[in-house]
Amino acid sequence: MGQNSNHRKLYRCKALMGLLLLLAMKLATAQDLHFSQFMHNPLLTNPANTGFNPDFDYRIGGSFRNQWWGLPVPYKTMSVWGDVQLMRDKFYSGWLGVGGMLLRDVAGAGNLTSTKGYASIAWHQELGLNSLISGGFNIGYAAKRIDIANFKWENQWNGRFFDSNVPSGEQFRFSQIGYLDVQAGLNYALFPSDRVYLNAGVSIMHLNRPRESFFDPALTDNRVPVRYNGFINASFKIDDRWIINPNIYYSTQAGASELVGGMMAQYNLSEYGEQQLIGGAYFRPGDAAIGMVGLQWKDVRLTFSYDATTSQLRQFNNGNGAIEFSLIKFGTFSGRTPRQSRCPAF
């Protein structure tokens, strides 16, 4: 009985390892970095969002995501970003937005580490009094590193354990690579009244399709697939206490796709909106249900979200999909007259 029990445990262990390896390979080859709080990572969602903050002169933000922390190979993703508006005093109906972001991701048993830095620029042009169109792009450098020695391969399994002294047969040439990366995007915003705001945008990532491979270029010409993003969001002021923000985000790359939809609500805790309570609920079909809570204190917003796994992976991670934090600081320059905005506000 004891021997049969050990065999069953070994079988389940190997099956789980196989599943995790397939998931890691799929994510590594078909999915870029992503956050459930896409609305709090605007420059990653679309470079046309650079400087797209009519109520403030600048923003500084950061996010941290820990995905599948209950599994042996969790994914940790971090971002830091900022943008600022320029030339608002020189042009009556438009302004320039400049910014930048840093991204870092550590994934899988091989510690696949991705570090990316981008500079971003966008122009925002008002179309009459009730609409705005924006176009932007960014360019950056991506560096990736992998710990090849940490991998275990099928031919190294001797029936009892993985023997690292047995050659894997894999033809790795590099443990570190780097490349230039280019993105571009467009946004359109409509302000029909001071209680309603509508916005939609599209962007294309990896326009230059950079080469990305740890193998000999003579053997493989692996290119980063183009990624297409689209989003629609809105803001409705219900009364002096409530503002609701329904939004939806879609992304597709190399046959893999992600759809996230839901709504965030802001509840005014003070007379002029200096303190706000934030809550939200989102759904990623076939993957996760997402709950979000947060607090805004004057010009600082802190939000926390939790992804509850709804796919078959919940058998292995107990439903613990991801936890994510986001912190954003808004600001205006001293002595500057704010641009009149029709965005819903308390």
What whole-number distance in Å separates Cα of residue 154 and Cα of residue 147?
A: 18
Q: Higher model confidence: residue 317 or residue 56? A: 56
Of the CA atoms within 13 Å of residue 276, those in its CB half-sphere come to 24
Q: Which residues lie below 8 Å from residue 23, measured CB to CB, with a gap of 6+?
A: 313
Check whether 147 has a pLDDT greater than 60.
yes
Higher pLDDT, 230 or 314: 230
pLDDT of res. 80: 98
pLDDT of 213 reads 85
Tell me what percent of the residues of the chain surpass a pLDDT of 70.
84
Predicted TM-score (pTM) of this structure: 0.83
**Cβ neighbours, 10 Å, residue 7:** 10
Domain ranges of the chain: 2-331
> Among positive and negative, which fits the CA dihedral 73, 102, 60, 203?
negative
Which CATH class, in words, describes the domain spanning 2-331?
mainly beta
Confidence band (pLDDT; 50, 70, 90) for 28? very low
Q: What is the mean pLDDT of the chain?
A: 84
List Cβ neighbours of 290 (8 Å cut-off, separation of 6 or more).
Answer: 36, 260, 262, 280, 281, 282, 283, 284, 305, 306, 307, 308
First-to-last alpha carbon distance for the chain, in angstroms, is 69
Q: Which helix (H) or strand (E) holds 27?
A: helix 2-30
